[in-house]
A and B are shown apart, each in its own frame.
Chain A
Amino acid sequence: MLEIRDLKVRYGGITAVDGISLTVNDHEAVSLIGANGAGKTTTLHAISSLLKIASGKIFFDGVDITSLPADKIVQMGIVQVPEGRQVFTKLSVEDNLKMGAYLERDKAKIKANMEFGMNLFPIIRERRKQTAGTLSGGEQQMLAICRALMTSPKLLLLDEPSMGLSPLMTQEVFKVLRTLNEQGTTIFLIEQNAYEALEFTDRAYIMESGRITLEGRSADLLNDERVRDAYLGGDV
């Protein structure tokens, strides 16, 4: 579904992403794991076309999307849940969801999608008249996911969904992501929380200073010595 070939991104003199290649297949859940500053978010931004890439190609369903602008990427069915949620804090929860459906013109579909999201996260239904800024971090994360689902994306990109959430909240968010994945949404996720990410996904890539150093089935990586030492804090 998604294929990245030899992607390079530079900020002035430094290379943030240094020639990475990865694939995400239909209906898969794939994670990209790495420490702070490894280039994960940059990779995600490159896919969403929020920044200019230096070289490399990105394909989606066999179509070259490398040079498409951000809005066209969303139209193709790739939607990102950005780091730090980035909900519209001054708007109500409902308006946030409507904003997520910006490209969707079919009213019935918008309504159906909104119902779908609110069924996934019942708390969002409770809060729907509230201003998004008054929600807790976990609720905002749920709202951000709901908002991303408003255009029925084929591929959902998530940037550190567990960041700043309590363990309980994290569990809940991942539970919903699993449901989504089982229902057919392809998920590409980047995380520092390696354990959660590996538990949840089918395959994973490990990223270090702009390069992919390791890849494989998540279950295997979970037992890999190197991964255990570097990302899982030894014995888990």
Chain B
Amino acid sequence: MTLTYFLTMLISGLRLGSVYALIAVGYAMVYGILRLINFAHGDIMTLGVYFMIALMISLGLPFWATMIISVILSIAVGLIMERCAYRPLRSAAEETVLISSLAVSTILQNLMTMIWTAQRMPVKLPAWLSVANRIGPFTIKTISFVTFGVTAAALIILTIIIRKTRIGVAMRACSENRKAAMLMGININRVIMFTFAVGSALAALAGFMMSGDYGTVYPTLGFTPSLKAFCAAVIGGIGSLGGSVLGAFIIGIAEMLFAGLVPTNLTNYRDAFVFAAMIVILLFRPNGIFGKQEGGRS
């Protein structure tokens, strides 16, 4: 194994990690406020890709326009989901809402199957995205740069929102103590809607990056990556956004290195490796690497 090979794997890992980071942040935000693992998060990601394809094929809009419209559509779906399946369960036990999110996931996946069939559909991105650039000994596709750039930009904007804006302050208050936040006059429904909107938008972006790289989309595309992104958030300590981003990069890089370095008969254990790693980390750090002690159910 050469250093070049190792570094190539590392770069792939970074790309994968940044896709996971976009998903993980959405998970972590929703979890922070609602204590809910939103299993439908990965399906929003898939849905975003389908929206993009549908818009490109049927309306023939330019690439950037389709991306913006499909992000908006994904946000709409995220908000509908919150309104119908999660808001009525605001006071219910955590497990109950978890089941609701499983059911939403089932609905979305089956809807996608119904509309676009279970077959893989090709995702045709503009040609310039798939150009392979030679930089020194490495060959890097333009889409990798775009992925890094979009992730970095999204995370910076998100940080500014959370640190500086009123809604960001309200989000922090809600995730620390929802009751106290309500008593401060914070409209928690608005905060939760905003959280879902941001999460869905990030998920749709992650979907574009992921499918653009794979070149196909199918109804269950989002499930496994989003579960891994959730692992990343858990590993990082799900209460902290910075932790989940870091967890995402750890997972992304570890996964690619595992795939690249172990003998070929073990590479199929890639997914299992990620989940086993999560269990092992939880064994030593039950609240994740950067997570703080949580008071259990409130």
Direct contact, A vs B (beta carbon within 8 Å): yes
Contacts of A90 in B (CB 8 A): 176, 292
A74 lies within 8 A of B176 (CB): no
Stretch at the interface among A23-31, A99-107, A189-197: A99-107
What's the least CB distance linking B22 to chain A, in Å? Answer: 25
Chain B: interface residue total (CB-CB under 8 A): 19
- A86–B184 CA distance with the chains assembled, in angstroms: 11
Flag if A50 contacts B180 (CB, 8 Å).
Answer: no
B183-A74 in contact (CB<8A): yes
Contact of B183 among A70, A89, A98 (CB under 8 A): A70
Pairwise interchain contact B184-A102, C-beta atoms closer than 8 A:
yes
> Does A48 lie within 8 Å of B176, measured CB to CB?
no
Cβ contacts A to B, 16 pairs, < 8 Å: A70-B182, A70-B188, A75-B185, A82-B179, A82-B183, A86-B177, A86-B180, A87-B180, A88-B177, A98-B169, A102-B170, A102-B184, A102-B185, A103-B184, A103-B185, A148-B183
Given contacts A71-B185, A71-B187, contact A99 B179 (CB under 8 A): no
How far, in angstroms, from A3 to B186 measured CA to CA in the complex?
24
CA distance A69 to B187 in the complex (A): 8
Q: Is A186's beta carbon under 8 Å from chain B?
A: no
CA distance A52 to B188 in the complex (A): 16
- Which of B166, B180, B188 is close to A88, meaning CB atoms less than 8 Å apart? B180
Q: Are B184 and A89 in contact, with the CB atoms below 8 A?
A: no
**Contact bitstring B172-201, A, C-beta under 8 A = 1, else 0:** 110011011111111111000000000000
User: A90 vs B177: C-alpha distance in the bound complex, in angstroms?
Assistant: 10
B166, B170, B181, B188: which has the most chain A beta carbons within 10 Å?
Answer: B181
Chain A residues with CB under 8 Å of B172's CB are: 91
Q: How far is the CA of A213 from the CA of B217 in the complex (A)?
A: 68
Q: Which residues of B contact A103 (CB under 8 A)?
A: 184-185
Task: For A74, give the chain B residue with the smallest CB separation.
Answer: B185
Is there a chain B Cβ closer than 8 Å to A43's Cβ? no
Q: Is the CB of A48 within 8 A of B183?
A: yes
The verdict on A201 contacting chain B, using a C-beta distance below 8 Å, is no
Q: Are B183 and A80 in contact (CB under 8 A)?
A: yes
| Interface assignment of A173: CB less than 8 Å from any CB of chain B | no
